Amino acid sequence: MMKILIVEDEKAISNFIRAGLESEGYACGQAFDGLAACDEIDENKYDLILLDVMLPGADGFEIMEYIRPKEIPVIFITAKAQVSDRVKGLKLGADDYLVKPFDLTELLTRVEVVLRRYQKGKTEFTKAGVTVNLDKRTCVKDGREIPLTAKEFDLCVFFMKNAGAALFRETIYERVWQGEYTLDSRTVDLHVMRLRKKLSWEGTLVTVNRIGYRLNA
Instruction: List the chain domain ranges.
Output: 3-117, 124-215
- In angstroms, how far is the first alpha carbon of the chain from the final one? 14
SS3 state at 139: strand
Model confidence band, residue 129 (pLDDT cutoffs 50, 70, 90) = very high
Q: Is the pLDDT of residue 5 over 60?
A: yes
Contacts of 171 (CB under 8 A, 6+ apart): 212
Cα separation, 163 vs 118, whole angstroms: 25
Highest mean pLDDT among 86-95, 156-165, 173-182, 189-198: 189-198
Q: Which residue has the higher pLDDT, 90 or 33?
A: 33
Residue 119, pLDDT above cutoff 70: no
Could you tell me the fold of the domain covering 3-117?
A: Rossmann fold (3.40.50)
Max avg pLDDT among 5-14, 20-29, 103-112, 172-181: 5-14
The CATH code that applies to domain 124-215 is 1.10.10.10
For the beta carbon of residue 197, count every other beta carbon within 10 angstroms: 10
